[in-house]
Amino acid sequence: MLSAFLFILASFVIAGIPTGFWTAKALKGIDIREHGSGSTGATNVWRCVGKPAGVFVFTVDVFKGWAPVAVAHWLSQGLLSAEWSFAPNIVPAFVAVAALVGHSKSVFLKFQGGKSAATGLGTLIGLCPPGGGLTFLTWITLVFTTRYVSLSSILGVLMCGVYFAMFHAPIPYVIYCVFGFVYVTYRHKANIRRLLKGTEPKIGEKPKEEQQNIEEPSPGSPS
């Protein structure tokens, strides 16, 4: 029981490592929380710092979700199978929940963080590689067709439960997918409002509000 708790706690802390915040500080000396959407995630880093930085943050954030969950899943089937026999599939699912929440509620940033989409993807790959892989394929396809990362993230995670069920993943893993969809959608509530207003920037674009400020000088400013 103690080892399960420690794994869950470690997952929460590891996922909370503020990759986007530190990357923006190192490369541009800015607090990424004060720019763009205010998120520390890869999309906002891409928009405010640059594409290479965004790709780096995305990769690390996926790894932060995958690593503790993959290890917990492996141990639940092997070395700790006897110790975790009371709930062999529940422990990795709770480790995944801790990673998902830990990224957006980072202990390093006074419980602020990103939207948890990339870290959530990592947890899915750790729990069920084929289901997680199909979720990623769905996400990347939607990104290229819609150019909206937020919409693609929400729709991608919507499908992960279906994919997990297709591959006969344990019930706790499928339940985690449902939780993940609700949580990631909630974390994107501001993006949903902008999508409905038509002001959500597509990938590579600046926020529409910033574009308007650049294109329309304020009264009294030189033209």
Exposed/middle/buried for residue 40 (C-beta within 10 Å: 0-12, 13-18, 19+): buried
| Domain boundaries of the chain, sorted by first residue | 2-206
Measured distance CA(222)–CA(7) in Å, rounded: 59
Q: How many CB atoms lie within 10 A of CB 151?
A: 18
Q: Per-residue pLDDT for the chain (223 aa), expressed as one digit of tens each?
A: 667 788 899 999 999 999 999 999 999 999 999 988 788 888 889 889 999 999 999 999 999 999 999 988 888 776 555 555 666 688 889 999 999 999 999 999 988 888 888 999 999 999 999 999 999 999 999 999 988 888 999 999 999 999 999 999 999 999 999 999 999 999 888 889 988 998 888 876 665 544 433 333 333 433 3
The pLDDT value given to residue 211: 42
Exposed/middle/buried for residue 195 (C-beta within 10 Å: 0-12, 13-18, 19+): middle
The pLDDT value given to residue 91: 87
Backbone angles phi, psi at 203, to 5 degrees: -60, 130
